[in-house]
Chain A
Amino acid sequence: DQQVKQNSPSLSVQEGRISILNCDYTNSMFDYFLWYKKYPAEGPTFLISISSIKDKNEDGRFTVFLNKSAKHLSLHIVPSQPGDSAVYFCAAPQDPNFGNEKLTFGTGTRLTIIP
């Protein structure tokens, strides 16, 4: 039962343009979301998070938007750079009542930035 879904396995974007990665979730109790970036043969690196009390969180080139009514979040990267080529995972705590310890991950989107 995939509670966090990333329906696009891959995405290619021209360098300098905006990359938009999407994530949908099924559990309306989820109230905190995280994005991780993963290079081959490395572990996921935390990028940015958002709490359900907000609909937007920004950190440099990275912005995450949350639409609670649609159960949808997106990660925007602008401008996209070659070093952004990686697999991006969205994640949420499985048991929101018990803190962030048990994360459930989407299957990831492989982003390729074309020079």
Chain B
Amino acid sequence: NAGVMQNPRHLVRRRGQEARLRCSPMKGHSHVYWYRQLPEEGLKFMVYLQKENIIDESGMPKERFSAEFPKEGPSILRIQQVVRGDSAAYFCASSASTSQPQHFGDGTRLSIL
């Protein structure tokens, strides 16, 4: 897991605040994926990005959630006006291509007070 870096590892926000989660993919990987895991559930796909492009955001909630993967810097998952139901572990993964397995970071645990 050391290859995909996510920060922060833990993030606490109050309702209505914004949460920004960062992900640096493994070296040489240009495909980034975000997943969310609720307690006692499996990971749920949110969004798939390549550099400067959102390829598939079919798993993203329609409001308050956005993602980007700029030309320079990490991928960012942004949640505006957080609510209690946003509390979850958010995992980022990367791959060298869509035919290669995805490698995951250690996640960001988001807690909403």
Q: Using a CB–CB distance below 8 Å, which chain A residues touch chain B?
A: 4, 34, 36, 41-46, 49, 89, 91, 94, 98-108
Among A43, A89, A100, A101, contact of B1 (Cβ-Cβ < 8 Å): A43
Known: A43-B91, A101-B31, A102-B56. A107 touches B104 (CB 8 A): no
On chain B, which size bracket covers the interface? Answer: 20 to 34
Report the separation of the CA atoms of residues A102 and B45 in the bound assembly, to the nearest whole angstrom: 6
Q: What would 10 A/B residue contacts be, using CB atoms closer than 8 Å?
A: A43-B106, A44-B104, A46-B102, A46-B103, A89-B43, A99-B99, A100-B95, A100-B101, A102-B45, A103-B45
Closest-by-CB residue of B relative to A104 is: B45
Closest-by-CB residue of B relative to A99 is: B98
Known: A43-B105, A44-B104, A46-B101. A101 touches B55 (CB 8 A): yes
Check B42 against A101 for contact (C-beta < 8 Å): no
Contacts across chains A and B counted by CB atoms under 8 Å: 70
Report the separation of the CA atoms of residues A98 and B31 in the bound assembly, to the nearest whole angstrom: 14
Check B31 against A43 for contact (C-beta < 8 Å): no
Check B104 against A45 for contact (C-beta < 8 Å): yes
Q: Which residues on A sit within 8 Å (CB–CB) of B100?
A: 100
Closest-by-CB residue of A relative to B4 is: A43
Check B104 against A101 for contact (C-beta < 8 Å): no
Report the separation of the CA atoms of residues A34 and B42 in the bound assembly, to the nearest whole angstrom: 14
Check A34 against B101 for contact (C-beta < 8 Å): yes
- Give A22 Cβ to nearest chain B Cβ, in Å: 15
- Give A73 Cβ to nearest chain B Cβ, in Å: 15
Closest-by-CB residue of A relative to B37 is: A105
Q: Which residues on B sit within 8 Å (CB–CB) of A102?
A: 33, 45, 48, 56, 58-59
Report the separation of the CA atoms of residues A100 and B42 in the bound assembly, to the nearest whole angstrom: 17
Q: Which residues on A sit within 8 Å (CB–CB) of B42?
A: 4, 89, 104-108
